[in-house]
Amino acid sequence: MLIKMETLTLKQLVDDLGFVALTDETRLNRTPESAYVSDLLSDVMGKAKENMIWVTSQAHKNIVAVASLKELSAIVVVNERKVSQDVIEQAEKENVNIIASERAAFETVGLLFDYLNS
């Protein structure tokens, strides 16, 4: 007998890992497939794949453009970085999810790795 597993959503991930959605939570229905970690925008543009979560300490408007271009499921901003309201508004316009983690990148990525591979 085949048992269909429930599809993981960003909303579940945010709730389970204690992250904070900075953009509209009603759009957290995307399914993250993996994660990519980098603070270099050109690196993310060249290597990240659609539906990945991008983990970064960058918090400026250019992250929204890159996430939109690559069709990433979300950006997770780490290290207690503050994301300005203008960046959040730009993300809302471009349907990009921004999530905050108070943890360091290393710990955030470890949590994501375990969570997405369980």
pLDDT in tens, 55-77: 999 999 999 999 999 999 999 99
What average pLDDT does the segment 26-48 reach? 95
pLDDT at 4 over 50: no
- The C-alpha atoms of residue 67 and residue 65 are separated, in whole angstroms, by 6
Q: What are phi and psi of 65, to 5 degrees?
A: -60, -45
Q: How far apart are CA 48 and CA 35, in angstroms?
A: 8
Rounded to the nearest 5°, which phi and psi values hold at 46? -85, -25
Please tell me the class of the 23-116 domain.
Answer: alpha beta
Q: Higher model confidence: residue 104 or residue 118?
A: 104
- Of 43 and 5, which is predicted with more confidence? 43
Domain borders along the chain are: 23-116
- Alpha-carbon distance of 48 to 9, in angstroms, equals 19
Span 82-89, average pLDDT: 97
The pLDDT of residue 36 is above 80: yes
Do residues 83 and 100 touch, judged by C-beta distance below 8 A?
yes
Query: Which residue would you say has higher pLDDT here, 54 or 1?
Result: 54
Which DSSP letter does residue 14 get? H
